[in-house]
Amino acid sequence: MPKPIRFWLVSFSCVLLLGGCAGNDRETYSQQSFQQMVNAGFLSPQIRSLDLLPIMMVQIYLETPQLFIQGDGEPLMFHINGQVEADVLGGMVTDKLPVQITGVAQLKYAPEDQAIYFDQIDFMEARIDLKVALFKTIIIDRFQQALLTELANMPLIALENTPELASVLEVLAKKGEVQFESRDGNLVVEAVPERK
């Protein structure tokens, strides 16, 4: 191999190694690249049952969430489309109705589950095109509370479907608590050493 090419390859390898070492306590993802991981890691559609007895049982079908990075230090905004069907007092009274859920949340890594979840969810809006007046007047608050619980327990990313991200998080978790933060228009995932 000619000397200039060998020198270039060795130099390039050193740059890659040094670059990897310098940033190994954090990874940075653009909104688009992180959304691609959500697309790969979210098991869609998620079918969830909300128990609003004695009045109603609700089944909700959720499509893949869309995430939006906001300002520095701000939580992520999310938007989820789906469908709802309600069984009121033992009789199905609704066809599947569209639902749009919009809110803001932090993210949480759960190594024991090999998953990333929504955390500290704050609803902005859960809109349902409901024609059932009973649902609108009596159930909507309970529906939102039950939905909040379901969203918090629903894996946003199952890491078995995103092996690269799983490897990054495993390495970071050995160095401290894994945290997600919006910074400079990107999502920064970093290890924060635990205080002794």
Question: What's the total number of domains in the chain?
Answer: 1
**What's the pLDDT tens digit per position in 18-72?**
333 335 789 999 999 999 999 999 999 999 988 877 767 888 999 999 999 999 9
Query: What gap in Å lies between CA 22 and CA 58, rounded to an integer?
Result: 50
Is there a domain that residue 3 lies in?
A: no
Is there a domain that residue 116 lies in?
A: yes
Q: How confident is the model at residue 8 (pLDDT cuts 50, 70, 90)?
A: very low
Taking Cα atoms as reference points, which of 153, 126, 146 lies closest to residue 46? 153
pLDDT-wise least confident of 40-54, 101-115, 150-164: 40-54
Q: Which residue has the higher pLDDT, 195 or 16?
A: 195
Query: What gap in Å lies between CA 165 and CA 157, rounded to an integer?
Result: 10
Whether pLDDT at 15 is above 50 = no
Is there a domain that residue 82 lies in?
A: yes
State which H helix or E strand residue 123 sits in: strand 115-128
Is there a domain that residue 1 lies in?
A: no
State the chain's mean pLDDT as an integer. 83
Is there a domain that residue 14 lies in?
A: no
Q: Tell me, what DSSP letter sits at residue 116?
A: E
Q: What is the mean pLDDT of residues 113-131?
A: 85
Taking Cα atoms as reference points, which of 65, 13, 58, 34 lies closest to residue 181? 34
Instruction: State the CATH number of the domain containing residue 96.
Output: 3.15.10.40
pLDDT-wise least confident of 21-25, 103-107, 125-129, 166-170: 21-25
Q: Which residue has the higher pLDDT, 99 or 133?
A: 99
Domain that holds residue 120: 26-192
Is there a domain that residue 20 lies in?
A: no
Number of helices (H), then strands (E), belonging to the chain: the values are 5, 11
Taking Cα atoms as reference points, which of 189, 196, 195 lies closest to residue 25? 189
pTM (2 d.p.): 0.80
Is there a domain that residue 131 lies in?
A: yes
Q: How confident is the model at residue 13 (pLDDT cuts 50, 70, 90)?
A: very low
Is there a domain that residue 11 lies in?
A: no
